[in-house]
A and B are shown apart, each in its own frame.
Chain A
Amino acid sequence: MEIFTQQVVSGLATGGIYASVALALVMIYQATDVVNFAQGEMAMFATYICWSMLNAGLPYWGAFLATLGFAFIGGVVIERVVIRPVENAPILSIVIVTLGLLVICNSVAGWIWTYVQKPFPSPFPSKPFKVSLGAGETIFGAHDIGQIGITLFVLLCIYLFFRFTPLGLAMRAAAQNPVSSRLCGIRVGWMLALGWGLAAVVGAVAGMMVAPSLTLEPNLMGGVQIYAFAAATLGGFTSPGGAVLGGFIVGVVENLVGTYVSFIGTELKFTVALAMIIVVLLVKPSGLFGSTVVKRV
């Protein structure tokens, strides 16, 4: 029973990472109809920037916040410079551009910081929590708990921003109906760029939270991105809330399956994510909470 609880909590911790990246994917998908294959790599790059600042002696939370600033500006710039010129190109061209971005981020990170794994600090104490649950004592990693807290906080902020601020509303409007938004005076181009910036911020948080457990290297987010795809597919690419929930589900399922299904173990955990993607696409292609897009003529 203790093992089960532990695995669920650690699943929720990694699930929060998947949820954040999945949310970033969905935010961009809803605004521009593009799946940003470089989302994870952008997050990895931001994490390296944080690492450099920490190495230069900045305190953790200072570097953390500064990284969010860099990520935001980076996201906005990428949208304006790289995505904007192909905005009206066929969807496949934009997909190729984001794939190119993935490769570029990855190689540039390798070029600047090398492919040697680097330890990345956690802001949380290393001493684990001991919690008495029923019969025995269950031990939780403090980083796991902190990670869940941080990701939930970020997700909440994003929700509140989109739900309750005028700018958030304008961004949702721009994503839904660009033509009508322009007629209402909304600068649609800037709204999309802001969306990329915000998505990059959410991704950067995920990168900095996952790096302590995986150690920092240019392929840090490769696996996370696959799980995030599984999460977004499961929850539905049209539903931000669904993608977040999907992230937590994928995290927990991945952990439990790895623990209890002996032939899968840690080696085949990836396959679980891919199997989930396939099953969802076969059974309910719009995802658990997604809506089927119907275009009326």
Chain B
Amino acid sequence: MSALLEVHGLEAFYGRTKALHGVSFSMAAGGITTILGANGAGKTTTLRAISRMVRTAGTISFEGQPLEARVTEDIVQFGIAHAPEGRGTFVHLTVEENLKVGAWGRRERGGLEADFERVFGYFPVLRERRRQMAGTLSGGEQQMLCVARALMLRPRLLLLDEPSLGLAPLVVREIFRILRTVNQAGVTILLVEQNAALALDLADHVFLLETGRVVLEGPSDVLRRDDAIRRAYLGY
């Protein structure tokens, strides 16, 4: 099977600082892959590299098409949605307007209402908040809105950056449950997550990043039993 996303020898730079030192991995279509690693290991940077938000070297290809020469605005045209770190909420737009912005980049203009229904089906609270300014939502609701906004693109690949950050455990569990449903509906997910236990539960494949390099990879049920992973990231 050919890979959906293939990254080879990826290096990323913030000014003169190198944040990734040759990351290579590939992802098959359909699954949930997670990138684990400590703070500063380069997890967010990897996602930002795919979305062309940092300067990079190396190759990134999506369904065989190279992404390196593209700009961030083009990435949605490939069907890649990026739910960024910090949620990227448009706080002065209503919930509905946020969702409309999420649909801006897709080719098919029609069917907005059906997509609203679909994401409201995942996150019923957003339906109640539909006409409310997004800035008035709670953190958990904003995270849901962030995922919902990304789904409005009808993406094939969803890049998710720390969806659990700063949220109550109950809300996080709810969001992760929805993510599984989203994945079963055919959206491939690349998840960056600090909460290793949660991520390992959700994902079927894992990459472990340390100081800008992939140091370990494999199916999540194998890695969960790995002693190094257990000690460093699961804490037992």
Min distance, Cβ A73 to any Cβ of chain B, angstroms = 23
Name the A residues within 8 Å of B53 (CB-CB). 179, 182
- Tell me which residues from 57 to 90 in chain B have a Cβ below 8 Å from any Cβ of chain A: 71-77, 81-82, 84, 88-90
Given A173-B101, A181-B101, answer yes or no on A188-B88 (Cβ-Cβ < 8 Å).
no
Name the A residues within 8 Å of B97 (CB-CB). 169, 172-173
Given A166-B100, A166-B104, A173-B101, answer yes or no on A183-B91 (Cβ-Cβ < 8 Å).
no
For the complex, is B105 an interface residue (Cβ under 8 Å from A)?
yes
Q: Give Cα A186–Cα B92 distance, bound, in whole angstroms.
A: 17
Interface 1/0s, chain A 83-116, versus B by CB < 8 A? 0000000000000000000000000000000000
For the complex, is B93 an interface residue (Cβ under 8 Å from A)?
yes
Question: Would A186 and B88 count as touching, CB distance under 8 A?
Answer: no
For the complex, is A136 an interface residue (Cβ under 8 Å from B)?
no
Q: Give Cα A185–Cα B82 distance, bound, in whole angstroms.
A: 10
For the complex, is A3 an interface residue (Cβ under 8 Å from B)?
no
Question: Would B77 and A176 count as touching, CB distance under 8 A?
Answer: no
Question: Would A184 and B101 count as touching, CB distance under 8 A?
Answer: yes
Question: Would B88 and A185 count as touching, CB distance under 8 A?
Answer: no
For the complex, is A187 an interface residue (Cβ under 8 Å from B)?
yes
Name the A residues within 8 Å of B105 (CB-CB). 184-186
For the complex, is A177 an interface residue (Cβ under 8 Å from B)?
yes
Main secondary structure of the interface of A (DSSP, over half): helix
Per the CB 8 Å criterion, the residue count for chain B at the interface is 27
For the complex, is B43 an interface residue (Cβ under 8 Å from A)?
no
Question: Would A184 and B104 count as touching, CB distance under 8 A?
Answer: yes
For the complex, is B149 an interface residue (Cβ under 8 Å from A)?
yes
A-B contact count (CB 8 A): 67
For the complex, is A288 an interface residue (Cβ under 8 Å from B)?
no
Question: Would B88 and A179 count as touching, CB distance under 8 A?
Answer: yes
- Tell me which residues from 160 to 186 in chain A have a Cβ below 8 Å from any Cβ of chain B: 166, 169-170, 172-173, 176-177, 179-186
Residue of A with least CB distance to B91:
A176
For the complex, is B51 an interface residue (Cβ under 8 Å from A)?
yes
Name the B residues within 8 Å of A169 (CB-CB). 93, 97, 100-101
Binding site for B on A (CB under 8 A): 166, 169-170, 172-173, 176-177, 179-188
Which listed residue (A172, A173, A179) contacts B84, Cβ 8 A? A179
Name the B residues within 8 Å of A170 (CB-CB). 101, 104
Residue of B with least CB distance to A163:
B97
Min distance, Cβ B112 to any Cβ of chain A, angstroms = 10
For the complex, is B37 an interface residue (Cβ under 8 Å from A)?
no
Name the A residues within 8 Å of B84 (CB-CB). 179-180, 183
For the complex, is B163 an interface residue (Cβ under 8 Å from A)?
no
- Tell me which residues from 134 to 163 in chain B have a Cβ below 8 Å from any Cβ of chain A: 149, 153
With A176-B90, A183-B72, A184-B105 known, 17 other A-B pairs at CB within 8 A are A169-B93, A169-B97, A170-B101, A172-B90, A172-B92, A173-B90, A173-B97, A176-B92, A177-B88, A180-B88, A183-B81, A183-B82, A183-B84, A184-B102, A184-B153, A185-B76, A186-B104
